[in-house]
Amino acid sequence: MLGLPQRVTACLFDLDGVLTPTAVIHNRAWTRTFDDFLKGRAGQRPFDPVGDYNDYVDGKPREAGVRDFLASRGIALPEGAPDDPPDAQTVYGLGNRKNQLLLTLIKEGLQPYPGSVRYLHAVAGAGLRRAVVSSSANTLQVITSTGLAPLLEVRVDGGTIRERGLRGKPAPDTFLEAAKELGVTPEQAAVFEDALAGVAAGRAGGFGCVVGVDRIGGGHADDLRAAGADVVVPDLDVLLEG
């Protein structure tokens, strides 16, 4: 009924691009942030919202995305501190600039994917445990504003990563933490991810099923499978049709 192996008793959902279209908003915020930063730097091409986004920032903690993208362009910045202002020329400053833009875009209105809402209700109706696992520090705000919070029992997010010293995706720590909070083993949990880093985290954690969500096309489904997805779907409610 749910398109999952019988051993699965819990579902661990990524947020951006799986439950809500915040991946699109994240992409816009990253693109504007990096393009503004790269202006005036000789020989630097603009941020690629497809290739650069998927390869360097999607699914990762904010500061890791900054480091990885800048490293791909041969640029190094001082780390700085988490409370750096958005105009600071540091890793944290650039990350905070992106987050400031993101919050502005979120306030313009955000709705969850209808197919994901249907699937969440089906999962809850079947008695499976449910968690949201995201690198975003804005997870609570997003699930509250979109009405998803009552459907999710556990939240592991950017704040959790900092508070508990967890490694971000592609390390499996956040998914493992969510499974622990739900009282299930990795083998009893399914991971739902649209990012290559997230799929790799699910595979590295030894989870019972890794579902890749391909909302962008252009060969992304093949990349998700190569990263370790057991099955790839364009939307979660497709799993209800099986």
N- to C-terminal Cα separation, the chain: 7
Tokens 């959790």 — which residue? 160
Closest CA to 208 of 237, 188, 236: 188
- Alpha carbons 166 and 160: distance in angstroms, whole number: 8
Task: Please give the positions annotated as active site.
Answer: 14, 16
- Segment holding 51, helix H or strand E: helix 51-52
The full 3-state SS of 80-109, as one line of letters, equals CCCCCCCCCCCHHHHHHHHHHHHHHHHCCC
